[in-house]
Structure 1
């Protein structure tokens, strides 16, 4: 049978299982699309055209041609086309052409991961070998040998790097890179959608520093950005570069026929809403395709699940066929040589199945596979399409299967396929002017070049910040300039993936003491508290001691059948309301808040069954911060008019909070951990403790808050970062949309009283939580 026939056969097998279990919510057929082409423009260097044609690129897609025209007009561009649509040539063509015509021209290519930069290096090397002139390209990252760095600085035409290396290894040493900065013509930023939240906010400031240094040496580079589909690519590109940008989003690349299946694990306990394990169902789905000889990639949500699925699929496939090496894993933590070997064998078709974390979501060349199975919704529609795009050739059939998890967000997507296929509602959000991030990069910029009085940093007036740095004895003002005077090397103190660099080191004391991981301060309180089970590389560690002064957590290897989940109590106080809207029967606001979170206990959760098998009390120091928040106010008369007992109403309130927390990332393109939630009283400003804390507490005042006739609930969703990064204002702009999607999620769930898929497990949400939450939503939406 042909590959296409095997694919159709496999889909029929999957459909049969779906009909028996009522588990397929959608099969979307995406028809093949013809490519649209144009000849190479006459002003491209003839040698470059010849080299590309020898590689098989006989002509350009229409979006590649448009990119060329806009760049030649001196414009910055952002390219938004799907996976495997030839985005790389959009920037390689103008860069290589410029260097062939002017050998002193230079370019910086920035990629979010080392693996992606190595892959792009291989692509460039193939083209350059076919050119008559020498073009020197070098990778400059943490693995670059010290003795090679001098030659790279002097000779490199194209420098392939990442934001971390640009931040700490290139910009602070710009005097060693004079040739690069004097002749810098292009800055290429690939996979722009990855630079959202904290990471993107840092990158925007790194680009402010890069432009400042380039201008000092007389250069003004053009920016070429590429991204997967997001709803605000132009806004994101302009915010991150602080330059006008032109959009290229008409895809001219051909696309083969594709089937996209939404598969929901069957319900095994309707009352509790418990479904079959999504891991086991992903194994079952992948095995169907693998047994029919189809090259398949399975995307897992964590390193642990990756290894579990590799083990399962090896049992299913390799033992049956009696051939080793057909199923492989791929994730961070594997050595680079092993990853390159797996990539090569995938391209050659020697590996039939690979299980990967999102490490293979980015544009690493692994050839064109037949099937992508997504074990769980990846968290964003953009990532889902990126992963699904890993299967599919320019011609012929392919398939993608999304296997739903029990989370409210996973269930919303799997039960609302029309929502998924009809639009991309996700905005990539950044806040370059977060004060903590801004100050840390102004320190770095002052180290690199003195600030002249009145000079802006990007669009920001920074006189007050520089005066603050004088008080801190970090800079000195003299003759109209601000000079860095501290002995410190400021770039070392900035972690691009968090706001604070105040991290905890995890020390394994099982045999010889050795550091195995680093955890940021706020996560350490919930992941590294005493008696926690800390997971790293699939290994379990018992936390014996958390040393606050030394910022160290001491752990020992263990082997237990549970993990721990911290119970925290967040108290929130409104400091300032920036804006408020009345939606008829409720109010929404966003503004600045003070958040105080304390870890007060932990639960032991059994693997696979997710049962609560024990708990413990803790009393850790409070973690306090100022941040931004969105809050929903339910009028007291509506809340008190509900025909339920006082405790049941509060159960419903916390159930609704759980659902809002889990569904809100759908609109913010962020991780669940990037936002926190809390419930408060609008009339008194007090916070309401969650149910598991209320049951333990004997404080009458806590229990009496919601009995008061004036009690008016506020549900807060706040940015889990000091100063905020722009997540909560986006919820404010949604008005009733977020509430409607929560109503859909809860109403569609088959459980009776609440479950992990809607309001949280029934033991935690409490009696009547589902009825109350539905009643509140129906009243305030209508």
Structure 2
């Protein structure tokens, strides 16, 4: 039964709780309600070194005195100490780094002006580089920075954004004149560092580097960015500058100093952690919410509001999320779930409509692009009979929109022109959206860090706010809404990434060698010198680098930076273009294109439907035709997995990859090591909306994709299966169910979510000769998640076993063993046999 806490007295509840519960009619869906207390602010005096004009500008904007944590971080930054600033959303982190950075720029400019007659004065200016994970956040920061400088009457600090969208003429001005450059790691990697001679003025004077939203740099992306920052520091020193001071601004995380130090490439003791948040916060009421069971029995009786084309069971990952390679889009069949529950997206659409009707400004976070479009469309449909004007004040926001569309939506939400915005995690980051009344979260966002980042959008600037986490039918979501202590009382996650990952380190070393030849005495900058040398030897053997007595050189004509895929997206994004007009509608990341914009796929953009006429993988474009249709489409993907053992000519382990590890629980063998995953989108279904009846299935001719990554696996011999009552007929279903549940529960132990992982199970795998379950990182080279599963194997499988056994369904459901990404249409699955199998495996686990 759901864990319930007595509700606070009616007068203490947020007034919008009554809207959520429909004045009691939906109270049975509320599994837990907790009010987090308000927090008073604590002020400090402005630092004596702070530029007086800047201080006056802050006061003109209403900041009479800064918060204590802002001053603590600013003082450490001014002293030249690296800083990890990890405080809550809306706590004013920007002021903490802009105050010392802009003061330094102005001080250097005045010094240079005084020495204008001297030749070296041209290169003495101080510069600042601001890095954010998205272009939108950099643009938003520029808006705030420009407002501060205008309020201060400062005209001698030149600021600009510069990224892949910046026109050539503007980029030339930035190169020659900008004191503060706001960009992203991608531009730094692909453009600025390879062309560092053009950027000598900026790099030689670089005093501060700000890395914003540092908690997003995890997995392969975090490892790449860590090495990009090492390349940056190397070039700054080569050009005659001094190593810049780095400020990593982040959501509240575990061990922020350790994560920031790994990102920067320095020992943790060289990083000052500022974690005590002294900004004021209003009360925040947080509701855990489980959608109801669907009345009646079966899909055929479900209404349009219960099952929808954006339902989580078919949601594909957003490109800002890591890409999974275990993909499917199959509806729960009535034979596999006794009481299917309403989808989280359908439930959130109802709640968003009710909140909008009450005038509450609300963000609804979804797990996918499709989910965002679906929530927005259903909300508009609910509101249209009430008020067409009100329906027009709800929209979708997601990655893949054009920049100008995103800016318009952000401004409309700020101004109140929009009351409701259904969004992916694209708005989780620091874009300044304040004054919101409520936040809805449709499905676990992956980490507690992300949940509290999203929740922080409600009630900013000291106002009270309401947050509702609405569970999907998923083992992890079900567990969390019935175990509130896992949401409220468990520690936050640390950011996990490994700069020594050879899949990441090898291309980054090539990029560094092209910028500046690698010398033996400088290898320690990139990690353990011995490991770096081993990878360099491999690169030389493969002809990527040339070894000379003076070092390692890149001697090819093509840019070395092109070898590194920072975000693990699989290549260039695919542009979605309207065939009749040539209008660019948006983009889809390369890793999702086969499944989302294949020939015949339905593509939705702000409620308008298009059908893909042709996907051209060579030119990275999907041509679409505007068409009203009564169906949606779902793709099917098949995959195989092979263990890459040393000496295996057919499936060799990647050069420089960490060695495979193995341990035994009696007859049960555990493995961790490199694998090769081959996947292919082979077909798609058209399903009528809203009843989801399959209209037809069409084959697709798309290429195979191969992913070299890291997996954890466990193998069980036949006699253990037989002793558990798992014979040849039920073994595939037992293993498949255990695999799904294992993927769903690993995020409890690792800093990841389900979309970071993939899995394969088989009754007899050719590489092990036994029944085997694989769970792998859905990133090239791995991201550390499978390794975490290997290290905590017994704890992990016990949680899996208990979650499956505790689920009240008879045969398996999305809350325990069914997967929203299964490539085999969630068949076969055998819940009872999975429990027997897991009991047998755990009976051999070490007692410790």
TM-score (ref. length: structure 1): 0.86
Structure 1 segment 516-555 matched on structure 2, within 5 A: 533=601, 535=603, 537=605, 539=609, 541=611, 550=618
**Aligned-residue offset at 1:187:** 0.6
SS at match of 2:729: helix
SS at match of 2:198: helix
Q: Does 1:259 align with 2:285?
A: yes
Q: Does 1:646 align with 2:745?
A: no
Corresponding residue number in structure 2 for 1:272: 338
Corresponding residue number in structure 1 for 2:369: 303
Corresponding residue number in structure 2 for 1:32: 38
Corresponding residue number in structure 1 for 2:20: 14
Report Cα offsets for 1:400-427 as digits up to 9, x if no partner.
1122222333323333222111124534
SS at match of 1:123: helix
Q: Is contact 1:651–1:765 with CA below 8 Å preserved after alignment?
A: no
State which of 724, 728, 741 in structure 1 corresponds to 2:786: 728
Judged with a 3 Å threshold, the aligned counterparts in structure 2 of structure 1 residues 20 and 725 are, in CA distance, closer, same or farther, namely closer
Corresponding residue number in structure 1 for 2:135: 114
Instruction: Give the distance between the partners of 2:759 and 2:497, measured in 1 at CA.
Output: 20
Instruction: Give the distance between the partners of 2:576 and 2:36, measured in 1 at CA.
Output: 50
SS at match of 1:186: strand
Report Cα offsets for 1:605-647 as digits up to 9, x if no partner.
6655566665566787655454321123446544211235532
SS at match of 1:193: helix
Instruction: Give the distance between the partners of 2:708 and 2:359, measured in 1 at CA.
Output: 55
Corresponding residue number in structure 2 for 1:242: 265
Instruction: Give the distance between the partners of 1:585 and 1:51, measured in 2 at CA.
Output: 70
Corresponding residue number in structure 2 for 1:590: 672
Corresponding residue number in structure 1 for 2:744: 662
Judged with a 3 Å threshold, the aligned counterparts in structure 2 of structure 1 residues 613 and 170 are, in CA distance, closer, same or farther, namely same
Instruction: Give the distance between the partners of 2:86 and 2:702, measured in 1 at CA.
Output: 46
Instruction: Give the distance between the partners of 2:770 and 2:181, measured in 1 at CA.
Output: 58
Q: Does 1:124 align with 2:145?
A: yes
Instruction: Give the distance between the partners of 1:587 and 1:731, measured in 2 at CA.
Output: 14
Instruction: Give the distance between the partners of 2:474 and 2:736, measured in 1 at CA.
Output: 16
State which of 59, 68, 78 in structure 2 corresponds to 1:62: 68
Instruction: Give the distance between the partners of 2:223 and 2:585, measured in 1 at CA.
Output: 28
Q: Does 1:487 align with 2:550?
A: no
Judged with a 3 Å threshold, the aligned counterparts in structure 2 of structure 1 residues 405 and 449 are, in CA distance, closer, same or farther, namely same
Instruction: Give the distance between the partners of 1:208 and 1:372, measured in 2 at CA.
Output: 38
Q: Does 1:187 align with 2:209?
A: yes
Give the count of matched residue pairs: 751
Q: Is contact 1:328–1:351 with CA below 8 Å preserved after alignment?
A: yes
Q: Does 1:775 align with 2:781?
A: no
Deviates more, 1:428-437 or 1:275-284: 428-437
Judged with a 3 Å threshold, the aligned counterparts in structure 2 of structure 1 residues 506 and 81 are, in CA distance, closer, same or farther, namely closer
Corresponding residue number in structure 2 for 1:328: 395
Q: Is contact 1:754–1:769 with CA below 8 Å preserved after alignment?
A: yes
Instruction: Give the distance between the partners of 2:539 and 2:230, measured in 1 at CA.
Output: 19
SS at match of 1:669: coil
Report Cα offsets for 1:158-184 as digits up to 9, x if no partner.
111111211122111211222211111
Corresponding residue number in structure 2 for 1:138: 160
**Aligned-residue offset at 1:729:** 0.8
Report Cα offsets for 1:557-577 as digits up to 9, x if no partner.
474624233241423336277
Corresponding residue number in structure 1 for 2:178: 156
Instruction: Give the distance between the partners of 1:735 and 1:147, measured in 2 at CA.
Output: 56
Judged with a 3 Å threshold, the aligned counterparts in structure 2 of structure 1 residues 554 and 186 are, in CA distance, closer, same or farther, namely closer
Judged with a 3 Å threshold, the aligned counterparts in structure 2 of structure 1 residues 224 and 341 are, in CA distance, closer, same or farther, namely same
Judged with a 3 Å threshold, the aligned counterparts in structure 2 of structure 1 residues 302 and 394 are, in CA distance, closer, same or farther, namely same
Judged with a 3 Å threshold, the aligned counterparts in structure 2 of structure 1 residues 314 and 213 are, in CA distance, closer, same or farther, namely same
Structure 1 segment 597-746 matched on structure 2, within 5 A: 597=679, 615=697, 623-634=705-716, 636-643=718-725, 645-680=727-762, 685-686=766-767, 712-746=770-804
State which of 353, 356, 359 in structure 2 corresponds to 1:290: 356
SS at match of 1:47: helix
Instruction: Give the distance between the partners of 2:411 and 2:426, measured in 1 at CA.
Output: 15
Instruction: Give the distance between the partners of 2:284 and 2:162, measured in 1 at CA.
Output: 38
Q: Is contact 1:665–1:671 with CA below 8 Å preserved after alignment?
A: yes
Deviates more, 1:754-763 or 1:397-406: 754-763
Instruction: Give the distance between the partners of 1:536 and 1:765, measured in 2 at CA.
Output: 26
Corresponding residue number in structure 2 for 1:708: none
Give the gaps of 5 or more residues in structure 2. 1-9, 110-124, 298-336, 647-658, 844-848
**Aligned-residue offset at 1:21:** 6.7
Structure 1 segment 84-99 matched on structure 2, within 5 A: 84-99=90-105
Instruction: Give the distance between the partners of 1:84 and 1:72, measured in 2 at CA.
Output: 22
Q: Is contact 2:637–2:679 with CA below 8 Å preserved after alignment?
A: no
SS at match of 1:487: coil
SS at match of 1:310: helix
Instruction: Give the distance between the partners of 1:111 and 1:625, measured in 2 at CA.
Output: 28
Instruction: Give the distance between the partners of 2:737 and 2:596, measured in 1 at CA.
Output: 24
**Aligned-residue offset at 1:677:** 1.2
Q: Is contact 1:600–1:618 with CA below 8 Å preserved after alignment?
A: yes
Instruction: Give the distance between the partners of 1:594 and 1:332, measured in 2 at CA.
Output: 29
Give the gaps of 5 or more residues in structure 1. 688-710
**Aligned-residue offset at 1:78:** 1.0
Q: Is the strand fraction higher in 1 or 2? A: 1
Q: Is contact 1:110–1:160 with CA below 8 Å preserved after alignment?
A: yes
Deviates more, 1:193-202 or 1:108-117: 193-202
Instruction: Give the distance between the partners of 1:214 and 1:192, measured in 2 at CA.
Output: 22
Q: Is contact 1:585–1:779 with CA below 8 Å preserved after alignment?
A: no
State which of 171, 177, 185 in structure 1 corresponds to 2:199: 177
Instruction: Give the distance between the partners of 1:626 and 1:291, measured in 2 at CA.
Output: 50
Deviates more, 1:278-287 or 1:771-780: 771-780
Judged with a 3 Å threshold, the aligned counterparts in structure 2 of structure 1 residues 227 and 494 are, in CA distance, closer, same or farther, namely same
SS at match of 1:718: strand
SS at match of 1:306: helix
Structure 1 segment 273-422 matched on structure 2, within 5 A: 273-317=339-383, 320-321=386-387, 323=389, 325-422=392-489
Q: Is contact 1:568–1:601 with CA below 8 Å preserved after alignment?
A: no
SS at match of 2:735: helix
Judged with a 3 Å threshold, the aligned counterparts in structure 2 of structure 1 residues 105 and 768 are, in CA distance, closer, same or farther, namely closer
Deviates more, 1:385-394 or 1:584-593: 584-593
Q: Is contact 2:641–2:675 with CA below 8 Å preserved after alignment?
A: no
Instruction: Give the distance between the partners of 2:285 and 2:360, measured in 1 at CA.
Output: 14
Instruction: Give the distance between the partners of 2:825 and 2:169, measured in 1 at CA.
Output: 59
Instruction: Give the distance between the partners of 1:590 and 1:445, measured in 2 at CA.
Output: 30
Q: Is contact 2:639–2:677 with CA below 8 Å preserved after alignment?
A: no
Instruction: Give the distance between the partners of 2:630 and 2:541, measured in 1 at CA.
Output: 52
Deviates more, 1:531-540 or 1:401-410: 531-540
TM-score (ref. length: structure 2): 0.80
Judged with a 3 Å threshold, the aligned counterparts in structure 2 of structure 1 residues 232 and 743 are, in CA distance, closer, same or farther, namely farther
Judged with a 3 Å threshold, the aligned counterparts in structure 2 of structure 1 residues 18 and 226 are, in CA distance, closer, same or farther, namely farther
Q: Is contact 1:118–1:139 with CA below 8 Å preserved after alignment?
A: yes
Q: Is contact 1:652–1:772 with CA below 8 Å preserved after alignment?
A: yes
Instruction: Give the distance between the partners of 2:488 and 2:667, measured in 1 at CA.
Output: 31
Q: Is contact 2:812–2:831 with CA below 8 Å preserved after alignment?
A: yes
Higher relative contact order (CA closer than 8 Å, sequence separation 6+) = 2
Judged with a 3 Å threshold, the aligned counterparts in structure 2 of structure 1 residues 565 and 43 are, in CA distance, closer, same or farther, namely same
Instruction: Give the distance between the partners of 1:138 and 1:551, measured in 2 at CA.
Output: 32
